[in-house]
Amino acid sequence: MNTESPVSRRTALCGIVVALAVPSGFVTACSSSSGSAPTQGSNPTGSTGKPGTALVALADVPEGGGALVDGPGGKKIVVARISAAEVKAYDATCTHQGSTVAEPSGGTITCPSHGSQFGAADGAVKKGPATTGLRAVAVRIDGDQVVLA
């Protein structure tokens, strides 16, 4: 009787190993199929984007305010309209702990998480806890669009 018990345990352990291995095989298979999907998309992934790529219609970026838009690779970019003929843009990732900042308002870009404020004209810190300004993204006005420069 004692000799059957270890065999049963071994069989049970093999069953557990197989049970654990099968779902991970499915996960791997699912990852492989979804990993091939981006090749058919037109958006560049992981790059800073091609100059001339349209970000937003100028009409959607109010003077003194701005807009939060999807940049290349889906990265959020905050676009600020400094004047009728001048726009600035920044990576919308807050330099404090990585939250996405809000649209500019009254010349200030505010992070909703802990209240850091950045100047819309230069991205510099106006109020902490952030200690580093927003990372600039080069943009220009091209006709009725704001595009990557």
**Site of interaction with ligand FES (CB under 6 A):** 94, 96-97, 99, 111, 113-116, 129-130
| Closest distance of CB 128 from ligand FES, Å | 8
CB-wise, 120 or 130, nearer to ligand FES? 130
| Closest distance of CB 87 from ligand FES, Å | 23
CB-wise, 53 or 108, nearer to ligand FES? 108
Distance from the first to the final alpha carbon of the chain: 79
Based on the number of CB atoms within 10 Å of its own CB, is 104 exposed (0-12), middle (13-18) or buried (19 or more)? Answer: buried
120 three-class SS: coil
| Closest distance of CB 114 from ligand FES, Å | 3
| Closest distance of CB 119 from ligand FES, Å | 15
d(CA 55, CA 138) in angstroms, rounded, equals: 11
Cβ 111 vs Cβ 127: under 8 Å: no
d(CA 66, CA 69) in angstroms, rounded, equals: 10
Q: How far is CA 118 from CA 67, 76, 121, 123, 129, in A?
A: 15, 16, 9, 5, 11
CB-wise, 130 or 147, nearer to ligand FES? 130
CB-wise, 28 or 132, nearer to ligand FES? 132
CB-wise, 113 or 145, nearer to ligand FES? 113
| Closest distance of CB 98 from ligand FES, Å | 6
